Chain A
Amino acid sequence: MSNLKALTVPKWGMSMEEGEITEWRVDVGDEVAVGDEVVDIETSKIINTAESTCNGTLVRIVAQPGEIHRVAMLLGVVAQGEVTDAEIDAFVANFEPDAAALVPSLVSGDDSKPQVPQAVSTENAASPTTTVPPVVEKSEKALSDGPDDKAVNASSVARRIAKAHNINLHNVNPTGRNGRVSKWDVEKAAGISVTAPVKRAFETSQKVVSSLDDSRIAATPVARRLAKKLALNLNDIVPTGRRNRVTKDDVENAARLLSGASDFSVQKVSRMRKVIAARLSEAKQTIPHYRVNVEIDIDSLLAQRKYMNGELGHHISVNDFVIKACASALKRVPEVNVQYAGDTVRAFERADISVAVAFDGGLVTPVIRNACTKSLLQISEESRDLAHRAHSGALAIDELQGGTFSVSNLGMFGVDQFDAIINAPQAAILAVGAGKEKAVARDGKLASATMMTVSLSCDHRVIDGALAAKFLQSVKGFLENPASMLV
């Protein structure tokens, strides 16, 4: 059976343990060669495409889309020459994951460093969690019309379905990674039902419900019992009963509204969203958060930046200054550069700053390592590169791990001020608002200044209030006197 080869789940980065099969790019019967992209796999951090590690014909797909498989487990079987089904069955049955599974087995190249495909487009974040843009209206022309579609970038499965439905791929709106036509796109174009079925009334999953305590909400006993059974929170239900009691009818109406009678669709939660949900819930519930705010005058900073970007031709953002200031402040107040670990506290030498990057459907926090030793320009270039690749889903797992402090900036959206949830296991995160021109009193006179409010969320188990204030003063000092960061 030496003519049968296994395709297995690759390990992208140290922390990867498992991945969800998103879509096969090849189908059984297709020829594959070493380095061919064969299957998309989504991990908790990124979506990536596994490449073939051997030449031959794909004879069996073992891991189906939607399934989650551990690293080194069997994805599919590739054959060289003729094989029988029985041989393949035996091969699958006898398959044992490679003991040396820690080596990234499927990724080609000189595998010392995990490689990720280069993004062609940074416009669309192409994970399945993204909102699919509406299909371009093409009703005036039949789906089968159009020039030869061989050159259209499409997955093999998509191509096969398109052929079966006599659909020219030019007429299909591509939403796959890198502008590729996916199976989903073709199914949508063909009118094959691809959306999740509308939930039956009273089905309890996928509800949008509050988690507030509802024991004090007035409700009839039947209503209370029914709400519990349907996993509804009485806080979410409009009461119509006497003395504002929630009645059985009210609960049933609410259940109907939430179950599809009203205008909403049910979408599967992506692995990334699940991870975000689990991690933030845990952080918010287990870490005793408190916040400290300070207003920072950034006129001097803006003047410096104007010179750097204008005369010197750089592209330095206010956030780059903030990252640099935080790194510098962590050096001056290293007691904040810590993590609480039960019986121990980890104190870090280096200031590795995680920068929150949001994109449609998700949020990642790539790390700028050793930020206090890097120049503003280096930080600027690195953060831009990370943000770009975050948008295209092309970050390696190791780029997303190991920060010691986080910065989250919503200033570009005009937000005055906000509080962030700590990015566990870190102990502090700085939430940055927009710089706004304000009237300030200076030497007894009114003056105008551009003020930016930052809010530091701290883990009170390791960072006390006075320490947080000291750190924030340091950040403020660096930002109000940018030249001091050069020292």
Chain B
Amino acid sequence: MAEIKIDKQSFDLVVVGAGPGGYVAAIRAAQLGMRVALVESQHLGGTCLNWGCIPTKSLLKSAEVYQQMKNADDYGLTVKEPGFDIEKIVQRSRSTADRLSQGIGYLMDKNGVHVFEGFASLTACDAISVSAHGATVATITAPHIILATGASPKMIPGVATDSELIWTAREAMTPEVVPETLLIIGAGAIGIEFASFYNTFGSDVTLLEVADRILPQEDEDISRLAMRSFKRRGVQFSLGARVQSVEVKDGRAHATWQDGAGNAHNAVFDRVIMAAGIVANTRGLGLEAQGVAMQNGQVVVDEWSQTTVEGIYAIGDMTAPPLLAHKASHEAVTCVEKIARTDNLEPLDPLSVPSCIYSSPQIASVGLTESQAQAQGISVRVGKFDLGNLGKAQAMGDMEGFVKTVFDADTGELVGAHMIGADVTELIQGYVIARKMETTEEELMETVFAHPTMSEAMHEAVLDAYDRAIHH
């Protein structure tokens, strides 16, 4: 009879979860000379690499190329019968994810991070046990524990759980066929990206959103243009929608909901995607027993990611929004450096975290929306510049979209920037740097923007806030 061997080790730091929060924390800690353990129950790289950011970007690139093939004639090109193979599209996406996940394994080796496979559970404020296949395989002690277990799709009462027909993001990014009719519940970033993808490949997409506009986190002008753009491409919307039920009958999903005007809807779809938000993965971690406080399903942390228990930290999607991979990575570095007592640390400013959506058109933003700024009593100066006025946009055939800037009229601070259009996710970083450097409109006006580029719209949007736009 084989003996159960329990690995007992102690480290300077244990990181639970190997997503963009956890693995970055592990690397940074190793760089600072700590002995680090990393516990992961599934795949190195977490949701982001395996089931989120990266594989969906691969899918959306396929959609973008396909769309361009369909528009080939606009560019004077001839493509005979553009077509696609969904299996190959998914395969490309998976191999990209797998390659990156292996890359994380390589980085862990390189940095001497000890990786444990299994579920972690706190057994004391400085100890965790790791279990796999129902048995404890290791007990680890460390004076510092960083929790970075991320989040999972939120389910809605009344919606059946059936991974065949009712998908979460994970199933939605590995389809075997493209559904003819598709219901997407939730018009946030995830819902919009899938709507964009499936619409391009021919699905008849209906989007339900509980708020009174799509992309409720974004500036109103962005929501308005995005909605118009998607509508033009045949996506249907129901706003203020409250889902009553989604049932599986005869191999199809029967959905009922009430829209904002009070009208009852009843429709049948081939597939349903749940994109109504995410909930922190905290079950089984033993948080309550150790006294780690939670609020609204999120772990309560201070500005340095410390939970209510000394020595236990939480970063990324387990904590407060924005729920974004790069926010988790940044918190990871700050948290580890705080543990290492590095000087001159600055806590993360949520208003300087950019947000990107890779639909077509793309959407990117940072800081406050115009109405949020006004609600805070800031007297604002707003600039807006349509991409269609740019030479580059016309040459590219990407004329839809705009760049909007929101300045504090008193201080010249760029309090927010909002963009929609081709490649804007690559442009937003310019404004993020401007915010971090606390530049005013003057420095941005004095900055030289290359011609011809889409970034010229960023310049013009700043000029427009002060009624100085050139190409208006």
Contacts and interface: CB of A to CB of B under 8 A. Distances in A.
B295 interface: no
A248 B410 contact: no
B267 interface: no
Interface stretch (A126-134, A217-225, A351-359, A479-487): A217-225
Interface in B381-421: 410-413
B212 interface: no
A222 B439 contact: yes
Interface string B432-472: 00000111101100000000000000000000000000000
A242 B437 CA distance: 10
A221 B438 contact: yes
B344 interface: yes
A202 to B, nearest CB: 9
Interface in A225-241: 225-226, 229
A221 B410 contact: no
A221 B344 contact: no
Contacts of A223: 438
Which one of B411, B413, B440, B443 has the greatest number of beta carbons of chain A within 10 Å?
B411
Contact of B410 (A229, A242, A247): A229
Contact of A247 (B438, B439, B442, B443): B438
A478 to B, nearest CB: 61
Interface residues of A, number: 10
B412 A225 contact: yes
Nearest to A219: B438
B356 to A, nearest CB: 24
Contact of B439 (A220, A226, A229, A242): A220
Contacts of A222: 411-413, 438-440
B45 to A, nearest CB: 31
Nearest to B437: A220
Contacts of B443: 221
Interface string A190-227: 00000000000000000000000000000011110110
Contacts of A242: 344
A220 B438 contact: yes
B331 to A, nearest CB: 19
Contacts of B344: 242
A247 B344 CA distance: 13
Nearest to A246: B438
Interface residues of B, number: 11
A223 B413 CA distance: 9
A223 B442 CA distance: 13
Contacts of A220: 437-439
Contacts of B413: 222, 225-226, 248
Nearest to A223: B438
Contacts of A221: 412, 437-440, 442-443
A226 B437 CA distance: 14
B225 to A, nearest CB: 29
B253 to A, nearest CB: 50
B29 to A, nearest CB: 23
A242 B411 CA distance: 20
A225 B413 CA distance: 9
Nearest to A251: B411
Nearest to A226: B411
Nearest to A244: B344
Nearest to B443: A221
Contacts of B410: 225-226, 229
Contacts of A226: 410-411, 413
A247 B410 CA distance: 16
A223 B439 CA distance: 9
Which one of A222, A223, A225, A229 has the greatest number of beta carbons of chain B within 10 Å?
A222
A227 to B, nearest CB: 10
Contacts of B442: 221
A229 B410 CA distance: 8
Nearest to B413: A222
Contacts of B411: 222, 225-226, 229, 248
Which one of B344, B437, B438, B442 has the greatest number of beta carbons of chain A within 10 Å?
B438
Nearest to B435: A222
B378 to A, nearest CB: 12
Interface string A109-146: 00000000000000000000000000000000000000
Contacts of A229: 410-411
A220 to B, nearest CB: 3
Nearest to A242: B344
A242 B440 CA distance: 18
A222 B440 CA distance: 6
A222 B411 CA distance: 6
A220 B440 CA distance: 9
Which one of A221, A223, A229, A248 has the greatest number of beta carbons of chain B within 10 Å?
A221
A76 to B, nearest CB: 45
A225 B441 CA distance: 11
Interface string B363-379: 00000000000000000
Contacts of B437: 220-221
A333 B411 CA distance: 58
Contacts of A247: 438
A248 B378 CA distance: 15
Contacts of B412: 221-222, 225
A221 B438 CA distance: 6
A12 B182 CA distance: 93
B352 to A, nearest CB: 12
A223 B443 CA distance: 13
A131 to B, nearest CB: 37
A226 B411 CA distance: 5
In the A-B complex, the 10 residue pairs with the smallest Cβ-Cβ separation, listed nearest first, are A220-B438, A222-B438, A222-B413, A221-B440, A226-B411, A225-B411, A225-B412, A221-B439, A222-B411, A248-B438
7 contacts: A221-B438, A222-B411, A222-B412, A226-B410, A226-B411, A229-B410, A229-B411
Interface of A: 220-223, 225-226, 229, 242, 247-248
Given A242-B344, A248-B438, 6 more contacts: A222-B411, A222-B439, A222-B440, A223-B438, A225-B411, A225-B412
